[in-house]
Amino acid sequence: MYIHVPFCRQKCPYCSFYSFPPQRGDFDRFLQAVCAHLHLLAQEPLVQALQFDTIFFGGGTPSLLPPTYISQILHTCRSTLHCAAVAEISIEVNPGTIDAFSLCTLQQAGCNRLSLGVQSFLDQELKQLGRVHSAQDAVTAVLEARRAGFNNISLDLMYGLPGQRLANWRLSLEQALSLAPEHLSLYELTPEEPSPLYQDLACAALTLPHEDEVLAMMDSTAQLIADSSLVRYEISNYARPGHICRHNINYWQNGSYLGLGPGAVSALQGRRYRIPPGLARYQRLACTQTTPWLAEEQLDVEQSFRESVVMGLRMLKGVSAGALSARYQLDLFSYYGTVLDRLLSQGLLCWQGERLALTEQGLPLANQVMAELV
């Protein structure tokens, strides 16, 4: 289950997700709408048959929502739907919008995985990214989360920032590793329309680091991670043994998921359902027992097959030819034919038994490889 919390204190210039600064009464409207939607979904046969293994509060900035509201949403989840007894319950947290008391309340409510959106441990870079926290805020948030009882903490960092140099990236990553997180998500900055950052890059007001500098950052990451207890299990994600993100693994395996909140998407039995942005619309429909889903997309077998291949290749273990054949009745090798032959001969993909995976050479070129297979 994914619950989209669309509130942000201020919009980061690189962000293209649906979010906005909350106005008076918005938190109450959101809580009422999500709980009403959960009661509505509990009457859907399609949802009644499901058991939820993970719950993920994303955004936006979920930590802007009062922790008692998170607790009430979780209570409603458990009382209306079938939730696993040992569900992974994650919440994204901005270090500038959380305190020790709130962290304790979230932990007591059942949140057992914290995803801290640090992005950088350098104040100058944080200011450029429009973040509301400082580097010290991030360090403090990790220490307070430990004291609150969290033993599964993930830190998000971004590299390839405008004007960023290799030395600065190493400083941020070294600081992150010194805090001994159970999980790291390390993302190359990808400007997307219609974000302000995209516009600034388009008119040359800002410039991204040269490709060689970015590749040096990737190489440096591999060197630093090698000296830690973290293991790379996906293109951008690293975890200590036993701490991979189960919620995201489900996405990469093209599994089913249920989305709540304005702007959220669901994928159930091969169909996609989308809730349009707009808190007022979402509240009105959910509270009048009307499904807030507006659009529906049905992927055909080949579309779903290609999507499973492309998303599955994000994981270092790759995709299982046997599992794909059983699920779609399509043979991986025969389906892609000469395209797959070429990628194998170029050393970008390889067979690991009956699994197809990116090679070390292919990992930095993953986007280009996947564009060939989509």
Residues 200-247 pLDDT 10s = 888 877 889 999 999 999 999 999 999 999 999 999 999 999 999 999
261 versus 271: the higher-pLDDT residue is 261
pLDDT attached to residue 264: 96
| Structure token digits, residue 21 | 């600064």
pTM score of the predicted model: 0.95
CB 46 within 8 A of CB 269: yes
Average predicted confidence (pLDDT) for the chain: 94
pLDDT attached to residue 32: 98
> How do residues 266-325 score in pLDDT, each as one tens digit?
999 888 999 999 999 999 999 999 999 876 788 899 999 999 999 999 999 999 999 999
| Structure token digits, residue 13 | 């210039």
* 108 alpha carbon, distance to own chain's centre: 23
pLDDT attached to residue 104: 96
* Of the listed ranges 34-43, 189-198, 313-322, the one predicted with least confidence: 189-198
pLDDT higher than 80, residue 254: yes
361 versus 204: the higher-pLDDT residue is 361
Other C-beta atoms lying within 10 Å of the C-beta of residue 30 = 24
pLDDT attached to residue 12: 85
pLDDT attached to residue 171: 98
- The CA distance from 292 to 306, in Å, is 29
Instruction: Name the range with the highest mean pLDDT among 12-16, 52-56, 191-195, 200-204.
Output: 52-56
pLDDT higher than 90, residue 33: yes
Of the CA atoms within 13 Å of residue 47, those in its CB half-sphere come to 21
Q: What mean pLDDT do residues 23-40 have? A: 97
> How do residues 299-315 score in pLDDT, each as one tens digit?
899 999 999 999 999 99
- The CA distance from 308 to 311, in Å, is 5
| Structure token digits, residue 142 | 């990790």
Q: Which of 154, 166, 323, 298 is nearest to 240 (CA)?
A: 154
Of the CA atoms within 13 Å of residue 313, those in its CB half-sphere come to 29
pLDDT-derived band at 10 (thresholds 50, 70, 90) equals confident
> How do residues 62-118 score in pLDDT, each as one tens digit?
999 999 999 999 999 999 999 999 899 999 999 999 999 999 999 999 999 999 999
Question: 241 phi and psi, to 5 degrees?
Answer: -50, 130
pLDDT attached to residue 250: 96
pLDDT-derived band at 50 (thresholds 50, 70, 90) equals very high
Bridge partners (DSSP) of residue 355 are 320, 352
pLDDT attached to residue 46: 87
Domains of the chain: 2-252 (3.20.20.70), 301-373 (1.10.10.920)
pLDDT attached to residue 204: 79
* 91 alpha carbon, distance to own chain's centre: 11
Kindly state the helix (H) or strand (E) to which residue 34 belongs, with its residue range: helix 26-41
